[in-house]
Amino acid sequence: MDARRRLVDDPFGWQRTASGQVRVTRRGRLVAVIAGAAARRLDRVLDGDDEDAVQHALARATGNYRRGNER
């Protein structure tokens, strides 16, 4: 299955906390808590309207990102 299709069919969820952290979930489970400079970098993308860019950024931030050369 294509990685982009996987993000459409099974997207990441996220929420900002009052302390500035970004909590990332997938399938109802917490997969990562992004804090500090990484959370501030994510804020720029999360505030945008491009859902594909948001999903891509969350995948990269959590480490759930395939580079296309694994088999």
Q: What mean pLDDT value characterizes the chain? A: 83
pLDDT, one tens digit per residue, over 7-26 is: 667 889 999 999 999 999 98
Q: Taking the model in full, what pTM does it have?
A: 0.76
Residue 63: which pLDDT band, with cuts at 50, 70 and 90?
Answer: confident
Residue 5: which pLDDT band, with cuts at 50, 70 and 90?
Answer: low
| Strand partners for 29 | 26
pLDDT, one tens digit per residue, over 19-59 is: 999 999 988 899 999 999 999 989 889 988 898 899 889 98
What are the φ and ψ backbone dihedral angles of 56, each rounded to 5 degrees?
Answer: -65, -45
Please report where in the chains the tokens 């505030």 appear, as a residue. Answer: 47
Please report where in the chains the tokens 């720029």 appear, as a residue. Answer: 44
